[in-house]
Amino acid sequence: MPNTHDMLWFKQQFRQKIEPAIAGTPFTVDFLTALACQETGEVWPILRKKDLSLDRILELCVGDTKDAHSASDPRDTWPATKEQLLAAPNGKGQQMFDLARQALIDMAKYVHSYDGPASPSHPTKFCHGFGIFQYDIQFFEDQPEYFLDKQYANFDACLQKCLKELREQADGIGLGNQSTLSDRQLAYVAIAYNIGSRHFRESRGLDQGYRGDGGKRYGRWVYEYLQTAKTVHDDDGEHPAASGTRYEVTSTNPLRLRSEATSDEDDPNANVLARLPHGHVATAITNHIVNGFLEVETDLEGHHYSGFASAQYLKRV
């Protein structure tokens, strides 16, 4: 799972490319960081620590392997099997399979959670998602050159594909005409990016999209990554503060100090230990931001507290 140091690396590598590309859109660097964490966060945080060039890291940002024994499940997106891909109407299915299979093998040399699908015992497994924002080969029929020419390994090309899809999905869920979006609305666009706008239901909130390990849905993951990304500042190259660092509360309303690094949207006062007023100073216990929360300790009205506060409303002093 990507952490704040991974997000710092991402911003340092790509902010200068992202900012001009998102001008005039409601999307932000933090949102694109969160999306990359959700889409390929099991890959590039590992690859960045290897002796690899940035171009090679981007080329190896592939994933989402599947190869059903049959395509009988209507929920399976084309191509569900190797046979379906080989029969691609553009006549380039074999070429695409060879690339997608080799991409899996090459990536798995570094990301060992893919050892199984990449092994010789699963010769029909191949990657479906390509690029750091994961553009799926369901689009291969109409855009074969994007995949076969490895345009997905070029960050600018990959970003443009992503932004085009985000704009279309935002339009599809009724948010396309807004100049700014709340964090929750950005997560809604991400959900539509994952499952398609026609499957999005606002009534279901953040609990929509791909369900990963632990049962948490895609939308909730993106929302939480977004909260954490907003605390990572790359303009001075600093890492998140170490334990013992003092923070000042910046929110106008009292900041909830919680017993756990989580909040309940249905009951925002659940697990609240105390409310820290604007300007109050607390001290970091650890340097780990969890779900957008920083663990701190402080004294308030004669009582000593330790708990978790939203990191976006804490400023170093």
DSSP per-residue codes, the chain: ---HHHHHHHHHHHHHHHHHHHTTSS--HHHHHHHHHHHHTTTHHHHTTSS--HHHHHHT-EEEE---S----TTSPSP-SHHHHHT-TTS-HHHHHHHHHHHHHHHHTT-GGGHHHHSTT-TT--EEEETTTTEEGGGTTT-HHHHHTTGGGSHHHHHHHHHHHHHHHHHHTT-TT-S---HHHHHHHHHHHHH-GGG--GGGTT--S-B-GGG-BHHHHHHHHHHHHTT---SS-PPPPPTT-EEEE--SSPEEEESSS---SS-TTTTEEEEEPTT-EEEEEEEEEETTEEEEEEEETTEEEEEEEEGGGEEE-
Look at residue 272 in the predicted model and tell me its pLDDT.
Answer: 94
Look at residue 68 in the predicted model and tell me its pLDDT.
Answer: 61
Is pLDDT of 128 > 50? yes
Look at residue 76 in the predicted model and tell me its pLDDT.
Answer: 60
pLDDT-based confidence at 277, cuts 50/70/90? very high
Average pLDDT over residues 196-208: 94
Write down all domains in the chain, each with its CATH number in brackets: 4-229 (no CATH), 246-316 (2.30.30)
Quick one: what percent of the chain has pLDDT higher than 90?
70
Mean pLDDT taken over the chain: 90
Average pLDDT over residues 65-82: 66
Average pLDDT over residues 93-100: 96
Look at residue 266 in the predicted model and tell me its pLDDT.
Answer: 73
Q: Which of 220-224, 270-274, 288-292 has the lowest mean pLDDT?
A: 288-292
Structure confidence by residue, pLDDT tens digits, 219-268? 999 999 999 999 888 764 433 445 578 889 999 899 999 998 888 777 88
- What is the pTM assigned to this prediction? 0.73
Is pLDDT of 137 > 90? yes
Average pLDDT over residues 101-112: 96
Structure confidence by residue, pLDDT tens digits, 9-58? 999 999 999 999 999 999 999 999 999 999 999 999 999 999 999 999 99
Quick one: what percent of the chain has pLDDT higher than 70?
93
pLDDT-based confidence at 315, cuts 50/70/90? confident
Average pLDDT over residues 99-126: 96
Look at residue 70 in the predicted model and tell me its pLDDT.
Answer: 44
